[in-house]
């Protein structure tokens, strides 16, 4: 597989880089909370077929049959850092 910088369309195999929120469930010093790396956010990457792209979100799925998809994730567009279309090598 090679990365290709072109506009992704529904059905394309893509890699999406995005930022996710994070939380803790324990006490920490205020100073430590203010000094968290990346402002406490998590940098994520998801790979799959682009199911749907709308003004608010994009949905990617990891498995598919001719009529069904599985392992979907919907990512708010405001969280997306980068989208790259992947091209598969054909035999």
Q: What is the pLDDT of residue 9?
A: 92
Are the C-beta atoms of residues 69 and 61 closer than 8 Å to each other?
yes
pTM for the model: 0.80
Return d(Cα 33, Cα 27) in angstroms, integer.
10
Q: What is the pLDDT of residue 6?
A: 55
What φ, ψ does residue 34 adopt, rounded to 5°? Answer: -75, -20
Please check the confidence at residue 89 and state whether its pLDDT lies above 90: no
Structure tokens at 41: 């956010």
- Closest C-alpha among 84, 88, 80 to residue 7: 84
Report pLDDT digits (tens) over 28-75.
999 998 988 888 899 999 999 999 999 999 999 999 999 999 999 999
Please check the confidence at residue 88 and state whether its pLDDT lies above 80: no
């Amino acid at each position: 597989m090679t990365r290709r910088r072109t506009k992704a369309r529904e059905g394309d195999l893509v890699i999406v880089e995005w930022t996710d929120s994070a939380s803790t469930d324990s006490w920490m010093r205020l100073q430590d909370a203010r000094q968290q790396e990346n402002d406490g956010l998590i940098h994520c990457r998801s790979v799959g077929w682009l199911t749907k792209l709308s003004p608010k979100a994009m949905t990617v799925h990891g498995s598919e049959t001719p009529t069904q998809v599985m392992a979907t994730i919907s990512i708010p567009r405001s969280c997306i850092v980068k989208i790259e279309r992947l091209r598969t090598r054909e035999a």
